[in-house]
Amino acid sequence: MIKPIALAALLALSAGADAQTRSGGLAGLLGGALPNVASASAGNAAGLLGYCVKNNVLSGANAATVLGNLTGKPGVATSDGFAAGQAGTLDTGRGAGLSLDALKGQAKTKVCDLVLKRAKAFL
């Protein structure tokens, strides 16, 4: 079950995430809102991808390959966004972050899937 504070944060982040909310059952679990990962920088996406792999939310060669390729780009692995992502924080671009630690099960998996797609867009 998602904690009320996490749910409120997700709802607040839903602006601009219309395409993401149409992506399936998770949107229904969160009242139609998903965090907008489109605001994540290359560094933040790479760090989050590392977090998702390390915590066994994502697995497989695809995620590892994308992570390796993205962290190989200049400045990505040394950015502040990368460090925040490795700690599980999605930089929302609004001065605050969303901790993936606050999400459980299917919600965390879906966000990690969205992060993987975002990371691929930087390659």
Output the pLDDT for position 93.
77
20 Cβ partners below 8 Å, 6+ apart? Answer: 27, 34, 36, 37, 114
Residue 91 has pLDDT above 70, yes or no: yes
| Choice between 96 and 120, residue whose per-residue pLDDT is larger | 120
Residues 18-39 have pLDDT tens digits of: 344 344 444 444 544 667 899 8
Longest dimension (CA), the chain: 39
Q: Where are the beta strands (DSSP E) in 1-123?
A: 89-91, 97-99
Output the pLDDT for position 34.
64
Residues 45-65 have pLDDT tens digits of: 999 999 999 999 998 899 999
Q: 24-33, 47-56, 85-94, 96-105: which has the highest mean pLDDT?
A: 47-56
Give the three-class secondary structure for 99: strand
Nearest CA to 34 among 122, 120, 110, 118?
Answer: 110
Q: Give the integer Cα–Cα distance in Å for 91 and 83.
A: 11
What average pLDDT does range 85-108 have in this prediction? Answer: 90
Residue 64, both tokens: 């590892």
